[in-house]
Structures are given as structure tokens and as C-alpha cells.
A and B are shown apart, each in its own frame.
Chain A
């Protein structure tokens, strides 16, 4: 069974940092492209970042580029999102999701972890 479990969310002050983790099981993580998507509760979905299977191809949404860093450790079946210089508008539930290749859909999602940026 495919499982994606996010952790690391919480309350942080504006300008602070947080690192999210996404632990994967039930599939060949090292062959999978992975994504982060966020959602303000009750609102729409916003794609945040993507990393290919070996970490050599990475993309970000403009709103987080230069502040967030996606990475992965295939030996630990885990993906990360390092979030720096956090802003109030980064407050959201952050989901990790598994994709396929370049144009593939997000076929499995984790349950999400809530990040709250507030003073």
C-alpha cells in the first residue's frame, strides 16, 4: 500500500524557518518524481515544488523560489521541504504527492501537515 506521511509542520513566526518531511513507503521511492502542494484551509490548491527521481531536476513556484528548498534522500525514502523567510501568506496545509514523469498527474497524496506563520 502506498503511504506518504508528512511531518514537521507547526507554528512559526514571520521570518522563521521550518523543515517538512515526507516519508514514503509501498512503492519504489527512488524511481518517483515527488511534489509539494499547499492549500489554505477551505481554499484552492497551489503547486509549490517538484523534484525528479535522483534530485537533479528541481522546480519551484515563483512565490517560494529563493526561500524554499526541496530535496530528497532516496536511502531513507524521504523528501524534504526547507522553508526559510516564512511569510504569513505561507500559512497552509502542505501535502506531499507522488508523480510520474514530467507531465504525469499526482497519483498519491499524503494527509498533509499544517504550517502556521503568525506572530
Chain B
């Protein structure tokens, strides 16, 4: 199985901060990385797919990059509604696997 190592596991940031979350795959997965946001008690929501494609309706302050084994999710200017958990996921091969998650908290 492909392991997805996500970091940091948590971070504290202020509104307006730039936030970067990284994800490393245990083998080459081309660009088959997707990013999800999850708020407490809610289902995950797709933010980005194929590394850098923005899902319809997602604000442009979210961006993604990377290919091969190293990927990043960037929030350019953190907004109050962005305080949540974020997960990367590889869809290169079955079984799909997720990173351990990053909890973004208010500083």
C-alpha cells in the first residue's frame, strides 16, 4: 500500500496567515493527490484534485502543487471559516490511502 505522510499534524495560525501543509507519498504517484477539508461533525469536502485543480466553488486562496512523491496545500490568507482539518489522499492505486490529517487551529 502507498503510505501518505502528512505534516504537520496540527498548527496554530492567525487570520490572514499563509499556511502550508505537506504530504509525502511512499512511492511515485504522479499527480494523483487530492485534498479535503473536514469540519467537526461534518463530511470531508473536496478542495483540490490531481494535485492542483481547484474543485468548483472552492475559494482561490486554496492552491496545490507537486508531483511524484511530494505535494503541498497552501492557503494564501487564512480566513475564519478555514479553521478545520485537512487530509491528503492518493488516488493512484487501490487501496486509496489518506494522510493522517492536519488540524488548523486559531492562534
The interface of chain A, by Cβ under 8 A from chain B, is 35, 37, 44-47, 50, 59, 61-62, 95, 99, 103-112
Contacts and interface: CB of A to CB of B under 8 A. Distances in A.
Contacts, number: 56
Nearest to A59: B94
Given A44-B100, A44-B101, A107 B91 contact: no
B22 interface: no
Contacts of B92: 103
Interface residues of B, number: 24
A44 B42 CA distance: 13
Closest 5 CB pairs of A and B: A109-B43, A105-B34, A47-B96, A105-B49, A45-B98
Contacts of B46: 105-108
Nearest to B35: A105
A112 B96 contact: no
26 contacts: A37-B44, A44-B99, A44-B100, A44-B101, A45-B36, A46-B98, A47-B89, A59-B94, A59-B95, A61-B95, A62-B95, A95-B44, A99-B91, A103-B91, A105-B49, A105-B50, A106-B36, A106-B44, A106-B46, A106-B89, A107-B49, A107-B55, A109-B43, A110-B43, A111-B43, A112-B43
B interface: dominant SS: loop
A3 B87 CA distance: 22
Given A50-B94, A62-B95, A103 B32 contact: yes
A115 to B, nearest CB: 16
B61 interface: no
Given A45-B36, A105-B91, 4 more contacts: A44-B100, A106-B34, A106-B46, A107-B55
A50 B91 CA distance: 12
